[in-house]
Amino acid sequence: MSFGVRTDEIGVDGSAVRRTVQVNDADPLRLMARLARSGLFGDHVVYERPGRWTFAGGVLGEVILENGTVQTRWNGEEPVVSAWSGRPARALDEAFRGSPLRAWNAYGWIAFEFAGQPRGERLAHLVVPRAEVRIEAGEAHLTGVDADEIAQVAALLEAPGEPAAGLPSPVDVRVDGDRYRTRVAQAVEEIGAGLYQKVIVSRKLPIPFPVDVVSTYERGRAANTPARSFLLHLGGFQATGFSPEVLASVDATGTVMTQPLAGTRAFGRGADADAATRHELETDPKEIFEHAVSVRTSQEELYSVCEADTVQVSGFMTVKERGSVQHLGSSVSGLLAPGRTSWDALDALFPGVTASGIPKREAIEAITRLEEPRGLYSGAVLAVSHDGSLDAALVLRALYADESGAWLRAGAGIVTGSTPAREYEETCEKLSSIAPYVVPAG
């Protein structure tokens, strides 16, 4: 491992302090964990995209959306609380439009109840960080508002050695089977009665000990192959996860992409077993139907915000390997119509069809009957910027922790051909993407 600071790139642009640190062959995962556990910043978010890791530390600006109110805070000033109504995405858009910051990147999360069925107090929490570290291609690009703070971050990146992540204590996922299978049977009956076509029914798995969330992130990320990964600590709430799919990705030109995954089988049980379950996945009528209707729904959602002739599907029903499971996956993309923004795209695609159901409104209503509030599970962790770009990862395969304790959660897509036993097994397969890597707090 080798490091070197290019001091010629230290400079001030307006209020921004910039610095570049050569990290070369250093493991970005370890560097992100080092920053997270350093204590230099209380609130922080780590967000990984292919080839790019971002650490957002501290709070320069903050937007918190709750039922009926939005709280904004900029540049350390007192929070301002105002009322909002209508679409939550529009409320967030207006809050950031009111920012006094000329340029900003924000990171945070939105709850499943952001979809329009508020059952929890907090619907969204996003922060513009005081310091941001972006690692890609062997370089760490540091941006912040305080030169001393950025110097401390650079010193952390340069520090030799690395404490090993704690040892995991695997969590038993085969609990609460009867209760979950009963809810699946109820959903199958409702589908048979024509109330909806598909619904995702999930179950919560409490962890019976305090958790070291940062070490769990290290252990879990090393064993997973996510589309996105994240680690966050905002307002006392912690979470880490290995998202199997992209809910919404919008670049500064207005190109939108979503990546619905539906259809699941176990993975990582040996070459012969994996090949057999892959064949089963690609030929099972129930799994193919579940995936096809999800892709069709994603197309319809993009038609509502994109120029119609730009909406297209690519990589239809490609098998995606995600840790302990494999899925059928497709990509659906389009170009935003004039006057539409990335917030409109998020509004159209949220919640993910693969984590709610079809039709969405009826499926969400069913979820409110069948489950307790989900919070961040099946919500999203996102990065959004002043230039109109947005990247949102669907939150599945994740661990959650607050003052009450820690928990996991997983669900399965219920359609006409579903059986309670198989859907329970699917939740066990999904939970196994993170349950073996949970590290107790030291």
Q: Assign 119 a pLDDT band (cuts: 50, 70, 90).
A: low
Residue 197 belongs to some domain of the structure: yes
pLDDT digits over 168-190, tens only? 999 999 998 999 999 999 999 99
Lowest mean pLDDT among 58-62, 102-106, 289-293: 289-293
Q: Identify the CATH number of the domain in which residue 323 sits.
A: 3.60.120.10
What pLDDT does residue 273 have? 78
Residue found by looking up tokens 């990147």 in the block = 105
Reply yes or no on whether the pLDDT at 242 is more than 80: yes
Residue 216 belongs to some domain of the structure: yes
Q: Catalytic: which of 48, 218, 245, 423?
A: 245
How far separated are the first and last CA of the chain, in Å rounded? 27
Residue 128 belongs to some domain of the structure: no
What pLDDT does residue 281 have? 77
Residue 50 belongs to some domain of the structure: no
Q: What's the rounded mean pLDDT across residues 332-336?
A: 97
Residue 319 belongs to some domain of the structure: yes
Lowest mean pLDDT among 61-65, 80-84, 139-143, 283-287: 283-287
Residue 39 belongs to some domain of the structure: no
Nearest to 353 by CA among 223, 225, 250, 262: 262
**Number of domains into which the chain is organized:** 1
Domain assignment of residue 394, given as a range: 177-437
What pLDDT does residue 157 have? 94
pLDDT digits over 97-116, tens only? 999 998 999 999 999 999 87
Residue 160 belongs to some domain of the structure: no
Q: What does the alpha-carbon distance between residue 347 and residue 116 come to, in Å, rounded to a whole number?
A: 10
**Is 245 a residue of the active site?**
yes
What pLDDT does residue 15 have? 62
Residue 152 belongs to some domain of the structure: no
Mean model confidence pLDDT for the chain: 90
Reply yes or no on whether the pLDDT at 391 is more than 90: yes
pLDDT digits over 341-356, tens only? 999 999 999 999 889 9
What pLDDT does residue 285 have? 83
Q: What does the alpha-carbon distance between residue 352 and residue 288 come to, in Å, rounded to a whole number?
A: 18
Nearest to 400 by CA among 273, 268, 253, 211: 211
Contact of 354 with 330, CB cutoff 8 Å: no
pLDDT digits over 255-279, tens only? 999 998 776 777 777 887 778 878 8
